[in-house]
Structure 1
Amino acid sequence: MGVAYSVGEVDHLYTFFVQWSPNIYRKRNNKSSSEKDMATKKTVSNSKASKKWEIITVKDSKRRLSLCSSVDSEAEEYQEEDDALPVLSDHSQLLDDHHLLKLAAHMPPRTRGYRWHLVYSTAIHGSSLKTLYRNMAGLDSPVLLVIKDVQKKVFGAFSSDPFKVSKYCYGTGETFLFSFNPDFQQYRWSGENSYFVSGNLESLQIGGGGDGFALWLDADLYHGASFSCPTFKNAPLSTHEDFIIQDVEVWTVQS
């Protein structure tokens, strides 16, 4: 049979037990208080964290991602173009930034990041193939030949070796032709033959093996010609197969 106690009696009993065994009952009481404090702190922390959340729609999310992507891509594109623009040792009469960006992007990796040095210019050195050869004597680096004809067409060739007088063809598969007509066109080595470059005192020839050279210049750097040839499978570089030269520049890329 159970015993019933009033509320007052229960309080008296609890006070008695606390006084009789304080270590047991006070610890339990303190533990429950600390648990309450921890629960309170957790609630406050969660309420603070909840304030940091922001509800957005799927449409807004896509718009924000689109904006971030466009800004990042524009910055990367600007950085790439800025990095690709080579530094010239002298002002070019034939190449503007558009030409430089296109050419630099298609030149061999080993040439990138180096200053371009002007080796020969008809505006400075006069129109002479002999002078062109002489200015490259002792040079051991690739060269870029740039031509502008009287029709204002810009074209030329990148040669893995500097131009020189030789009985035999020289160069490697890095050699290529280019033209701005007005869009940039590049003609790489086809692999069909190795008639890259040959030169004598009467003319400079690039590409061959067919009915004509891909690029031919006379001793006075006045007359030129450009035909399709097996070495590069190219189209004629100028508007006409035979053309009159207005200016010539040769640049070398070296550290």
Structure 2
Amino acid sequence: MHALKDKVSQKLSNLFADSPSQSASPRFSLSDSPKARLKSSSGKTFSSYFSFGVLQSGNEKEDDSESLPPPLPIRTDSYESVENCKHGNGTMISNAEEDKESGKDGGALRVSAKVVESGNDYFEGVKQMAELTEESAFISANLCEFLHACLPNIVRGCKWILLYSTLKHGISLRTLLRRSAELPGPCLLVAGDKQGAVFGALLECPLTPTPKRKYQGTSQTFLFTTIYGQPRIFRPTGANRYYLMCTNEFLAFGGGGNFALCLDEDLLKATSGPSETFGNECLASSSEFELKNVELWGFAHASQYFSS
């Protein structure tokens, strides 16, 4: 019995002798665990995933290579304000057009975006259309703006007075010639074919028919057409002075090869071809065509128009 008691006492003494004292025990850390030192498949230690939530001891150093990756960026272009979409002088442009300008998606515009013109251009077009005292069968806002820029300075800002229209006054060249005398000065002839082309000429009124073929007019005479998709003007090249020919049978412009534009006495048919006078090509859809309508516009200052 005493021998067994002595053996148990001896083992207990040895056990307490091998244990370290409580004062010398280090502070516990997850990094001291054998499981924490095992490498994951990505090469990071188990403790690195808890480094942001575990209090580190004073002897440990922060490992920058094992820090968490930065958060993914949040795309905010879909919430871009209208102010950020302004370009230039008030022109509004959508995000799709911004992507095109910045080279995204190879410059391809995936969404059809409507560009709103600046206020100055819009109101300028409205102002010019307001100068027409009557509705035109051919003159759109775009064409009106173009013609307004081509007119001589003496008539800019004037009211556009409809002197003659086949829809209003009948189909007769003689009637057009007679009514051209109502407002002397520069006048604008506007015509069109049944295929949709619009063309015409700036000339001096009143038109005076001659018994023989004789050219008249000035170097201010010009031709225009919309056959090329956008309005285009042809001014005299200086090759000759074949500006205008007027008889009771026809009204023609240009020469040196062909008439650039020739209207017959009934204002039903016309021809057009290249001319040396204006350096133009055919102004209509074909060299011979039927006229849809013919208009003659004169210009008068507002004081003259309202007093008459």
Return the alpha-carbon distance in structure 2 between the equivalents of residues 74 and 96 of structure 1: 19
TM-score calculated relative to the size of structure 2: 0.57
Distance change (3 Å), C-alpha of 1:84 and 1:105: farther
Aligned to 2:226: 180
Question: For 1:206-217, what aligned pairs fall within 5 Å after superposition?
Answer: 206-210=253-257, 212-217=258-263
Distance change (3 Å), C-alpha of 1:69 and 1:222: closer
Distance change (3 Å), C-alpha of 1:82 and 1:152: closer
Question: 2:90 matched to 1:71?
Answer: yes
Query: Does 72-81 or 105-114 show the bigger shift?
Result: 72-81
Aligned to 2:285: 239
- Larger RCO, structure (CA 8 Å, separation 6 or more): 1
Distance change (3 Å), C-alpha of 1:190 and 1:112: same
Question: For 1:53-68, what aligned pairs fall within 5 Å after superposition?
Answer: none
Higher helix share: 1
Question: For 1:7-46, what aligned pairs fall within 5 Å after superposition?
Answer: none
Computing the radius of gyration over CA atoms, which structure comes out larger, 1 or 2?
Answer: 2
How far off its partner does 1:70 sit? 2.7
Q: Percent same amino acid at aligned positions? A: 35
Distance change (3 Å), C-alpha of 1:184 and 1:148: same
How far off its partner does 1:172 sit? 1.3
Aligned to 2:299: 253
How far off its partner does 1:163 sit? 2.5
Aligned to 2:149: 105
SS in 1 for 2:207: coil
Q: Which runs of 5+ in 1 are unaligned?
A: 1-63
SS in 1 for 2:191: strand
C-alpha root-mean-square deviation of aligned residues, in Å?
Answer: 2.2
How far off its partner does 1:158 sit? 1.1
Tell me how many residue pairs correspond in the alignment: 191
Aligned to 2:306: none
Query: Does 81-90 or 102-111 show the bigger shift?
Result: 81-90
159, 168, 189: which is aligned to 1:115? Answer: 159
Distance change (3 Å), C-alpha of 1:207 and 1:69: same
TM-score calculated relative to the size of structure 1: 0.68
Aligned to 2:109: none
CA contact (8 A) 2:253 2:260 kept: yes
Residue-by-residue CA offset, 1:57-89 (whole Å, 9 max, x unaligned): xxxxxxx99958533993443454445445112
Distance change (3 Å), C-alpha of 1:66 and 1:173: farther
SS in 1 for 2:275: coil
Query: Does 127-136 or 103-112 show the bigger shift?
Result: 103-112
Aligned to 2:264: 218
Residue-by-residue CA offset, 1:69-123 (whole Å, 9 max, x unaligned): 5339934434544454451121112212122111111111211100000010000
SS in 1 for 2:147: helix
SS in 2 for 1:252: strand
SS in 2 for 1:136: helix
Q: Which runs of 5+ in 2 are unaligned?
A: 1-82, 92-116, 302-308
